[in-house]
Amino acid sequence: MLTDPVPVTYATVAKSLPRIGGTEEKSLYRLDDSGTLYEFQAQHSFGKRNRFNVRLSRTSAVTDPSIPANSIAASMSASFTLDLPAYGLSAVDAQNLGKALVAWLTDANILKLANGET
């Protein structure tokens, strides 16, 4: 089980998301920060392939572009998935692959992705 609460930093501001539920395969952490909702999910599944996923999402009220006097909910998310066969490759192999991707995810490369570069 992950640390409870899960610490995350959004725009240089530390947040603590307490666990609000889960099962053996999935945990959910949530923080309502003055109307802005942060959710963190961690889950796994085992089978012919083993999959491990974490997802952080943020939902906040924004001005409705069609009716500026109104607000609508806008959400975004970022996730990370490890997917590997049940045998033949180790958790350390998955760790090394994950670390390689995390190292590539520099501020500049994340901004390029968010701007639609491929």
pLDDT of residue 80 exceeding 80, the answer is yes
pLDDT of residue 1 exceeding 80, the answer is no
For residue 98, count CB atoms less than 10 angstroms from its CB and return exposed for 0-12, middle for 13-18, buried for 19 or more. Answer: middle
**One-letter amino acid identity for 13?**
V
DSSP assignments along 2-33, one per residue: --SSEEEEETTEEEEE-EEEE-SSEEEEEEEE
pLDDT digits (tens, 9 = 90+) for 17-41: 999 999 999 999 999 999 999 999 9
